[in-house]
Chains A and B, each alone.
Chain A
Amino acid sequence: MERPNLSYIESMSGGDKTFERKLIDIIKEEFPIEKEVYFTNIKSKNNKLTAEIVHKLKHKISILGLEKSYEIAIAFENNLIEGQYELQEDFEAVLQLITDYLKQL
């Protein structure tokens, strides 16, 4: 499986380490909240709200350089809109991958 990285954050920070830290801290703060919202919504089988939070999580997946995972998220969001749960396991594996990565930062 691909590994998260900070390439995007570094490319847009222009070497500003303070900004990089600020952005990482915000991601570390927002991501667990969004992840929790995701699990609440998927558990209650609310496809519309689950698709919305997957949509939101997509941005963080892309910021962390996870290109293939981003494609999984797009496909999973579309599946949810159509009332299907295909790719749920793959998407949740991506969430776990990010969770583990953020712990190291």
Chain B
Amino acid sequence: MNCIIIDDEATARVIIGQMCTSIKNLIVLDEFPNAIQAIKYLNQNEVDLIFLDIHMPEFTGFDFIQTLKNPPKIILTTSDPKFAIEAFEYDCIVDYLVKPITQERFQKAITKAESFTNKSTNVNSTSEKVETSSGNDLYVNIDRRLIKIDIPSIYLIEAKGDYILIKTEDKNYTVHSTLKKIENKLPDNLFLKVHRSFVINTKKIIDIEDNSVLIKKDVIPVSRSNRPELMRRLNLL
């Protein structure tokens, strides 16, 4: 599990960082004195867990959570116990640590975070099914507008650095996101990652030759490790 620490007090960041070193497999990726810097970081990186202070100037911990579309697990760290009830209104909040934090209480929070991973995975797979069966639409944020895309019309998604290019029957869209994020929103029975940079709609394949597939006019490479799954999906004669 990896994590980041957000706290405007350096003393608190050092203490939490030290406590993290005593937990096996918990890696501190970075630490931030304010929420704005953390948001910038999270736009480029994925984390499993955030230690988040509530009381910070300008942007509180709760303000920060509300900016996150898919918040990771969050452990609140604060000197103020009075926000505990509000905290548990957020599904992503695993625990609420009141400063000064003891090593024992910290360990307990980490144990909760680890078991929370399993629950969260189950929730995700459930919601994926619901989306697949009940909705054919995907909304993407482009220039502060949420644009609806008909999922079956997508035939290809290509990773392009910090962006993805979504190609549909009618139009192409460039969106600030990752292949991993969009993969989680697409139905498994239609879409398959065939290469580290490409997800394809398998129903739109025209032909397959050696280690590539032809979709519309695009020739897409298929990596060796993904080829067996692709072949399994085809209705071979």
Contacts and interface: CB of A to CB of B under 8 A. Distances in A.
A59 B102 contact: no
B10 A12 contact: no
Interface in B1-32: 8-12, 14-15, 18-19, 22
Contacts of A27: 11
Contacts of B228: none
A59 B103 contact: no
B99 interface: yes
Interface residues of A, number: 21
Interface stretch (A38-46, A50-58, A83-91, A95-103): A50-58
Contact of A12 (B15, B55, B79, B80): B15
Contacts of B102: 11-12
Interface string A50-82: 001001101110110000000000000000000
Interface in B50-105: 55, 57, 79-80, 99-100, 102-103
A29 B55 CA distance: 20
A59 B57 contact: no
Interface residues of B, number: 18
**Secondary structure at chain B's binding surface: helix, strand, loop or mixed?**
loop
Contacts, number: 48
B19 to A, nearest CB: 7
Contacts of A13: 18
A55 B18 contact: no
A27 B11 CA distance: 6
**Secondary structure at chain A's binding surface: helix, strand, loop or mixed?**
helix
Nearest to B101: A12
A23 B18 CA distance: 10
Contacts of A29: 10
Given A12-B102, A22-B14, A52-B55, A59 B79 contact: yes
Interface string B158-173: 0000000000000000
Contact of A56 (B15, B18, B55): B55
Interface of B: 8-12, 14-15, 18-19, 22, 55, 57, 79-80, 99-100, 102-103
Given A19-B18, A55-B55, A62-B79, 6 more contacts: A12-B102, A23-B14, A29-B10, A30-B10, A55-B79, A62-B100
Interface of A: 8, 11-14, 16, 19, 22-23, 26-27, 29-30, 52, 55-56, 58-60, 62-63
